[in-house]
Structure 1
Amino acid sequence: MKRDIQILMHTHWDREWYFTKDETKVLLRNHMQEVMEYLEKNPETIYILDGQSVMIDDYLELEPEAEERLRTLISKGNLRVGPWYTQTDLLLVHGESIFRNLYYGIKRAREFGEPMLVGYAPDTFGHASQMPQIYKQFGIGSTFFWRGFSELKAEKSDFMWKGIDDSEVVGVNLATGYQGAKYLESDPEELKGRMNKIMTVLDKYSASNARLIMNGHDQMPIQKNIQDVMEKIRKMYPEDSVSISDFESYIEALDQESLEVVTGELTDSKHARIHRTIGSTRMDIKLLNTEIENKLYNVLEPLAVVGEKAGIPYPHSVVEKIAKILFGTHAHDSIGGCNSDKVNQDIKQRLLNALEMVDTQIELNLRLLTMGDQENDSTIAVVNALPEKRYNQIVEFDMLTRSKHFELVDAEGNIVPYAIISQHQEDAGLIDRQVAARLQDIKVYRTYITVPVESIEGLSIQYYTYKEVNEPVSQSDQSNDQSIENAFGQLFIKGNQIHYKDKQTHKVYENVLSIENSGDAGDSYDYSPPLNDWVLNSSDHAEITSTTTKTAQYEALNVELKMNVPENSADRENKEATKEIRFAGTFKCYPGDSKLYAELTHINQTSDNRYRVVLKTDIESDHVKVDGYLSTQDKPAYNDQPLAIWEEDNWVEKPVSVETAQSFVTLKDDQYQATIYTDGLKEYEVLEDCIHLTLFRTFSHLGKRNLVNRPGRPSGIEIDTPDNQLPEESFTFHFAVDFKQTNEESKIAKNYLTPLIGYQQKEFNRFNINERDGVTKTDDTCSLDLGQLVVSAVKLTEEGELFIRLFNPQLDEAAVALPEESYLANPMEEKLEPATTLILASQQIGNVIIKR
């Protein structure tokens, strides 16, 4: 068979790794100058710019005068850019971040020419099962990747990849890697030896006569002698054709109808490492990233939609700036945390900057909303950030008052009950510098409260007022009691263990929540158990003390858990628990809510350790239900098939049964169900009847060789990274536990991560702002009858129209009626056709634009 040898010229551009993004920017300027010069002299050549449009911005930042020259090469098709903005991880970040990364990547590429609509993700540590649908919605019909493939998926490396909703794209595993033909040799004999190795692999795995030769590598400069090399290849294989090509041409050579069909995630580690436990590396960075994502997508954007109706301009540029900072930290190495300490410090600082921006914009919008009532300077605004009516909610926010006591009053003049969570006194001069400048001595009370909200319309504001009073209006009972309860269950301490009684089923879950401590001999890519591990669990080794707070609005069990663990790897080897550690926890239950809410705080003082929270469910199941990107899926609890063959089949990494979820993990059987909802804790493992959720891990090196679960060479490079021990790092973890039988976990998770937003118009503020002309109180609402459909995004398009992204996590079709002048849309926020109803099949994603 005559082979069609297609050489694809490219560079793989890690913006940061063991080098910083600022180093690569300087190198990129030099690289782009060489590439553009070569393409101008060789106009028949195609060069791939790694599928990420941020390279346009990074280059033009240092050489803006080259913009027209760059535009010419892109518009002619010599230089291919997009569809991503940055080469993102495809398992760890928020599903909405995947959509926005493609949105901004395609949008930026369109400003220069036609985007490369190919799902190019060469080095990502695995691929989510929802990616085929996401690609298809952007008009992308194929994906090219390196990591995640094995013959358990298909015999050939060219296949049809069917997503969880049955969407299909062509999947092409780069069988020799994205770097397989890097720096092709000039010497004929050396080149022949190299090409024979490449062709042997491609002849085995390619499904057509086309052979894709990936001529590029990490920061590799363009190979200027490629034409001479191609002539030598032609002489080696005189029966074959040899050309410089692109991804689209390779796809055209495939007979798609004859390709094997592959389903599910692409996370096998036979040919390339996946690093399944990278989800718990540098949890300080990962938790910070999740906090920003949740605030951007669940708070700021819908809040800004509500604010726009009140006359507050929508902050498009602020949202884009925050998003692009996020995307700059979402590359597989960056969000993976597998970087040098210097780079991780830079990533963390950028995220802290983004957090400041999102927090400030949220507070600014809320301040302006409360200032809309110009006749009242004691306004409280409560905002529902979801486009559906909600019932029996609670809202928690802080009050700043001169008096210790105050009353809340609703719009009808009724006194509103509330409960105090915490209260302390502050110096107003430390809040508002004008107070200090005037030498005023003013003390104020900061009170964190919880308020019940019986009902609230979608995308709406409920206004309250407050007045300061002399007598307390909120009562609480604090004691050394060791239990809290509501109509659904009772949480109690007994024998230095935490237990839960389900009042609906009368079942008692003994030792329901505990902390596990084990060793970690791994590196920044992978957790690895020590050869001589010693696993400790708080249920056997901890002392727990507790107090309770009981109010009409909530009950809280405050615990301190103390246990001794090995301080370092040497202590663990010697079975010496020399270090006392502490976890402070608050568990809350609310009337009418079956969930048990948990907050744990901890300051790390140990090294080479891993900590996990363990939920004992008394349920043993072969499958676990989790959420992925805008979807739910049942996954095996244990990777039986790959684990049975990985050593004999020479996989490069053990396919451990540690997996990634987005926001919930469920175990169930015929009688019972247990779900843990998480806010940023995404790495889990099911062992027998327990769900283990990783809190954090600490270790010493960027890369190590010959790990227990990863034989052979080190991943990355072997450099010391003492910051990865997270010394004195302060953590706060949030999750919720529920034993209620339900199939609406996705909906519950979205509500858990999108609470009502409350804000008091405060007398003292860090910054002064003027009242904005045109900002008024608004009674505008948008309440859709979503049923079991779940919201992913609520925002305004750049044309100022309401854009909503929904998905159906259920097994059956679902629909929602749309208001007048609604349109089906694509994720580029372009109208497709008018619609009165959005109908979504199981696991399907829908986009709508609603005229306001």
Structure 2
Amino acid sequence: MKKKVHVIHHTHWDLEWYFTSNESFVQLSYHLDEVMTALENNEISYYLLDGQMSLLDEYLQSFPEQKARIKKLVQSQKLWIGPWYTQTDELIVSGESIIRNLTLGMALAEDLGSYMNIGYLPDSFGQSKDMPKIYKGLGIDRTVFWRGLPKEKTGDREFYWQAEDGSKVLTSNIKDGYFVGVGLIYSDQAQDLMSQIEDGAVGQNLVLPVGGDQRYVDFNLRDRIDFYNQQLSDYELKESNYDDLFSELEKEDLDTIEGEFISGSVSKIHRSIYSSRYDHKYLNDKLERRMIYQVEPLLLMAEKLGIANKQGLVDRIWKLLAKNHAHDSAGGCNSDKTNRVIRERFVEADQLSYSIVDYLTRKISESQEKVCHNQLSLFNTLPLEVTKTVKVQVSTEFENIQLRDSENKVVAFDLIKRVKEYSGEIRREESEKDPNKYYYIHELAMEVTIPSLSLVNYQVSENKNVVEVIAIDQQDYIENDNYQLSFIAGQIQLLDKKTKKIYHNILSFEDGGDEGDTYDYSPAHDDRVFDLTLDDSQIRTFCGEQYQEMLLTGFWKLPKDLNARAEGECNQKQAYELKVTLKKGSQQVECHLVIDNKVMDHRMRAVINLPFENRYSYTDTPFGTVRREVEDSHLKDWQEIGWREEPTSIYPMLKWVNAHDSNNSWTIFAKGIKEYQLTGEEYRQLSLTLFRSVGFLGRPDLLRRPGVASGNAFKYIPTPDSQLLEKLTFKFAINLEHDYNPAQIGKAYLDYALSLPFYQNQGLNLFTTTLKYFVSNTLKEEISIPENINLKAPELVFSSLRKNKLYGGWDLRVYNPSFEVVKGENVILSPRDLFYEFVDLKGIALTERQKNGKIDLGDFRAGQIKTVHFID
């Protein structure tokens, strides 16, 4: 019986890489003419347009007259498109972003007839263990990928891939890359190619993807298929598509495997790309948090008050982010000109998303009943009550202020800073300014409690009885209810007040050479690693009742470049500013580091010194958690057994990383830092990669990745921008608990990472936000903020609250991050009865619609995601 060889004619169209998306678009505009003509003239039977809709989205903006032509080819199942908007990175992009990426792509493809209902990611640098449940939640039960599958997990190319919640997808793992099939076009060694793709194949159906990066149409495809069929007696090649391939694979008896696939055993996965172009990763993290935790829920609050929902604006922002989530774009392994375009997209998304929050908080605040001058409104955009210490700014004509709540009670706060500003027309000479047009900007820290999806108001007035003093102190410690943090002999010491334990030198820093590239860290061939102490730091403390901070400033002496490092010459000062803060009631030691980077080709890490040894690390994934070994069993022999890169235990993280034993659980939260490694004796150090500074897109013969350069193997492409010679900001926090509980860690992360929007009704300072300068009408009818839904789910993690595009109404999503079944009462409470139903990740109903004021979420399997659709 002959084996069937499914020849898949395709192109892999990187959105951008060493070229920009604009440059490749010119080729795309002509390439699609060739594709459509070839399909219409029956020169080829099928063509796969790389599974991502951003290409057609851009194309049809310029050539809308081609829509009907494309639609006809899609509907006839000749041209295969979707389901992605862009082929996402799976390891450092949030789960909600992955869902937005897919739903955007699906909607665009459906408008053109249909989408390929396959999770097609032929080049992403590793596969998240959560992808099966994401795919199944969106109605996808088949997937194709190439990179990351460990040899030791399976040698099969076809299998069922299962998530811990039981979600299972049929998988085809591409043998030797999406470009392996070009051998059909260029090589007459038919049996050699068949032996290559047959390696690991389970049944009688083999896949031969014929295509490559931005590859043209192979008009001689049928001639080459005929040639091969004449040469082979045991194989039959035919033009095919992945839909037909999977219909055959479903008949096979296949194994089921679980877990993430981030092994370099058979393909490069660039297990340190997570720290390339840190500046981009920081921006992306900030924007994901703002979109998911502020913009989308705030739109719900506004819509309930009669303010139109601008879903098109939200989709525009998500498209910008999705373009930056493509695997090369997210990784940062691009030319400088491409990375500048990526950064500009982040800036555009930042301005749009910030302005949505700006506009809506002002509109809601100024339209409230009995709104007063100098009223300060603070918003909670989460569907659960929030109590936390926040920092806000208010502007007043008087120097000393007081705050009163809605019951006219005086509210305590700490005055952190006061600045005198001028509100009149600017003049060259100070003497020409009107002395009556000065005002004060006060930075305050205050503890607030705000109900779910609501706001609280405070009245700012003059305090005529007390002169506020900024509590700057010269003591060498700060403290709150949980911790005392001291600076002793150049080290930061932590006292845990609950356990009475003292931890010495909890935080230090490390700098080593990096002779890698934008794909991979690799130590310098002649390296020197420096332990960076805080010995010579200048210290300043602020000690309020609500908020305390310790500011350490100084500089480290480092080698300016690789030559100086090889010589051991520390010839460059690297200035730093480390601010460590403790807030009232908080479990987090918040760290804010600013570095003015003037050093090239190096890697800098923050080192948290743990009081216990470790064999595993624990971190969050898009919709769950994962346990990883701190040392790979093949760390010593990886080259001998033919692995493609060193299996160093450098790992990706999204929001947090944890290490724990039976008595201690230490979690590090981060904003934009995406890489960690457990290091040191007995792995008692948790090292966060702050950033890497490198000067080439690809380099050959790295110590951690021998052989040809990744990316473009034929040319050195300098990337001086990727040296990041600029001021860089890093934000992370240390959280200590007795027990490891991933759901509680998820809630603590929200407490750390969520900032609460605020607005002051005043006319002195027109530059508190950009839009404050514009005039704005209030709503025609004054509003009061109604009670909203309240999530009560102690063992679940809140994921998102967003508009349901199919039915109207809103979708609230939660998930179980643990490996255990969650039972007990997990509910959504409403002050009035709601119509609700459970829906999938696409928003399609899974249950009958019900009505109640208490929505029982039910039991959750390990790692399970649930989404509730409700209409108020």
TM over 0.5: yes
Cα offset for 1:800? 3.7
Q: Name the aligned partner's letter for residue 656 of structure 2.
A: F
Q: What's the CA shift for 1:210?
A: 0.7
In the alignment, which residue of structure 1 is the partner of 2:381? 385
Match of residue 779, structure 2, among 772, 784, 787: 772
Contact 1:595 1:737 survives alignment (8 Å): yes
1:669 aligns with 2:683: no
Change (3 A) 1:605 1:846: same
CA distance in 2, matches of 1:359, 1:567: 37
**Are 2:614 and 1:586 equivalent residues in the alignment?**
no
Q: C-alpha distance in 1, partners of 2:474/2:637?
A: 54
Distance 2:708 2:234 in 1: 38
Equivalent-residue separation in structure 2 for 1:57 and 1:311 (angstroms): 32
CA distance in 1, matches of 2:677, 2:67: 49
- Farther-moved stretch of structure 1 (679-688 vs 377-386): 377-386
Instruction: Note closer, same or farther for the CA distance 1:257–1:848 as it changes in structure 2 (3 Å cut).
Output: farther
1:444: how far off?
A: 2.7
Please say if residues 497 and 544 of structure 1, whose CA atoms lie closer than 8 Å, have aligned partners that are also in contact. Answer: no
Does structure 2 conserve the Cα–Cα contact (< 8 Å) formed by 1:824 and 1:838?
no
Greater Cα offset, 251-260 or 759-768: 251-260
Shift of 1:429: 5.2
Q: Tell me the SS of whatever aligns to 1:329.
A: helix
Matched residue SS, 2:644:
coil
Q: Secondary structure of 1:543's partner?
A: coil
For 1:377 and 1:606, the matched residues in 2 are separated by 50
8 A contact 1:431–1:766 mirrored in 2: no
Q: 683, 686, 691: which is aligned to 2:678?
A: 686
Question: In the superposition, relative to structure 1, how do residues 471 and 701 fare at CA in structure 2: closer, same or farther (>3 Å)?
Answer: farther
In the TM superposition, residue 278 of structure 1 has moved relative to its aligned partner by 0.6
Find 1:526's aligned residue among 498, 520, 525: 520
Map 1:241-390 onto structure 2 (within 5 A): 241-254=236-249, 258-373=253-368, 375=370, 376-390=372-386
Distance 2:808 2:181 in 1: 48
Q: How far apart in 2 are the matches of 1:473 and 1:219?
A: 68
1:39-54 matches, within 5 Å, as 39-42=39-42, 45-54=45-54
Equivalent residue letter for 2:813: R
Q: 1:516 aligns with which of 506, 510, 522?
A: 510
Residue 110 of structure 1 aligns with which residue? 110
For residues 671 and 293 of structure 1, do their structure 2 counterparts lie closer, same or farther at Cα, with a shift above 3 Å needed? same
Equivalent residue number for residue 490 of structure 2: 496
Q: Does 1:785 align with 2:800?
A: no
Give the 3 Å change call, closer, same or farther, for CA 413–441 of structure 1 in structure 2.
Answer: closer
| Pairing partner for 1:812 from 821, 834, 847 | 821
**C-alpha deviations, 1:688-732, integer Å up to 9, x for none?**
1011001111011111000000000001232111111112x1112
Q: Specify the code of the residue in structure 2 equivalent to 1:88.
A: T
SS in structure 1 at match of 2:737:
coil
**Cα distance change, pair 169–473 in 1 and its aligned pair in 2 (3 A):** farther
Q: Note the C-alpha offset of 1:430.
A: 8.1
Residue number among 729, 737, 742 corresponding to 1:740 in the alignment? 737
Aligned residue in 1 for 2:836: 822
Alignment root-mean-square deviation, CA = 2.1
- Deviation for aligned residue 1:791: 1.0
The residue that corresponds to 1:535 in the other structure is 529
Is there any run of 5+ residues in structure 2 with no aligned partner, and where?
428-432, 767-771
Match of 2:35 in 1: 35
C-alpha distance in 2 between matches for 1:51 and 1:126: 17
Q: Which residue of 1 aligns with 2:801?
A: 794
Check if 1:452 corresponds to 2:447. yes
Q: Which amino acid aligns with 2:783?
A: T
1:748-791 per-residue CA deviation (whole Å, 9 max, x = no partner) reads 11232224332222312322222233462312321121222111
What is the CA-CA distance between 1:146 and the residue it aligns to?
Answer: 1.2
**1:174-222 deviations in Å (ceiling 9; x for gaps):** 013100112743xxxx6331x3332112222111111101011101011
Residue matched to 1:837: 856
Structure 1 residues 765-774 or 274-283, which shifts more?
A: 765-774
- Aligned pair in 2 of structure 1 residues 103, 439: CA closer, same or farther (>3 Å)? farther
1:542 Cα deviation (Å)?
4.2
Taking a change above 3 Å as real, the CA distance of residues 648 and 346 of structure 1, as seen in their structure-2 partners, is same
Higher alpha-carbon deviation: 685-694 or 665-674: 665-674
Shift, 1:472, TM fit? 4.7
Equivalent position amino acid for 1:517 in 2:
D
The 5-angstrom pairing of residues 85-104 of structure 1 reads 85-104=85-104
Query: 1:838 is aligned with what amino acid?
Result: L
Residues 806 and 622 of structure 1: CA distance in aligned 2, closer, same or farther (over 3 Å): same
Q: Please, what TM-score do these two structures have when normalized by structure 2?
A: 0.93
Letter in 1 for 2:526: N
Distance 2:467 2:735 in 1: 32
SS in 2 for 1:739: strand
CA distance in 2 between partners of 1:81 and 1:504 (Å)? 57
CA distance in 1, matches of 2:123, 2:426: 47
SS state of the match for residue 504, structure 2?
Answer: strand
Q: 1:591 to 1:441 in 2, by over 3 A?
A: closer
When residues 256 and 525 of structure 1 are mapped into structure 2, their CA distance, relative to the original with a 3 A threshold, is farther
1:609 partnered with 2:599: no
Match of 2:406 among 411, 429, 432: 411
- The farther-off stretch of 101-110 and 224-233 is 224-233
Match of 1:435 in 2: none
Which of 717, 720, 723 is the matching residue for 1:719?
A: 717
- Asked whether the equivalents of residues 800 and 812 of structure 2 are also in contact (C-alpha less than 8 Å), the reply is yes
- Is the CA contact (8 Å cut-off) linking 2:38 and 2:44 kept in structure 1? no
SS state at 1:106 partner: helix
**Distance in 1 separating the partners of 2:467 and 2:405:** 15
Q: Is the partner of 1:511 in helix, strand or coil?
A: coil
Q: After TM superposition, give the deviation of residue 257 of structure 1 in Å.
A: 6.7
| 2:811 maps to 1:803 | yes
* CA deviation profile, 1:70-103 (whole Å, cap 9, x unmatched): 1111111111111111111111112210010011
SS where residue 328 of structure 1 aligns?
Answer: helix
Verify the 8 A CA contact 1:312 1:775 in the aligned structure 2.
no
Q: Output the CA distance in 2 between the equivalents of 1:394 and 1:50.
A: 48
Q: Which shows bigger deviation, 327-336 or 396-405? A: 396-405
The answer to whether the Cα contact below 8 Å between 2:160 and 2:171 also exists between their aligned partners in 1 is yes
For each residue in 1:145-181, what CA deviation from the matched residue of structure 2 results, as whole angstroms up to 9, or x when unmatched?
1111232120211112122333221222101310011
Inter-partner Cα distance in structure 2 for 1:431 and 1:737:
45
User: Which amino acid letter does the alignment assign opposite residue 662 of structure 2?
Assistant: D
Q: 1:430 to 1:624 in 2, by over 3 A?
A: farther
Among all aligned residue pairs of Structure 1 and Structure 2, give the percentage whose two residues are the same amino acid.
31
Q: Distance in 2 between matches of 1:761 and 1:249?
A: 62
- 1:5–1:483 CA distance, 2 compared to 1 (3 A): same
Question: Do the aligned partners of 2:416 and 2:470 also contact (CA within 8 Å) in 1?
Answer: no
Displacement after TM superposition at 1:517 (Å): 1.0
Q: Could you report, residue by residue, the CA deviation over 1:90-145 in whole angstroms, capped at 9, with x for unpaired residues?
A: 11112210010011111111111121110100010001111110011111112111
| Cα pair distance change 1:213/1:769, threshold 3 Å | same
Matched, 1:560 2:553: yes
Residue aligned with 2:505, SS: strand
Q: If the length of structure 1 is used for normalisation, what is the TM-score? A: 0.95
Alignment of 1:147-158 (within 5 A): 147-158=147-158
CA deviation after TM superposition for structure 1 residue 629, in Å:
0.6
Q: 1:429–1:66: structure 2 CA closer, same or farther, 3 Å change rule?
A: farther
> For residue 426 of structure 1, what is the aligned residue in structure 2?
421
Q: Could you list the runs of 5+ residues in structure 1 that have no partner in the other structure?
A: 433-437
C-alpha distance after superposition, 1:226-259 (max 9, x if no partner): 1111111211124433211111222222257732
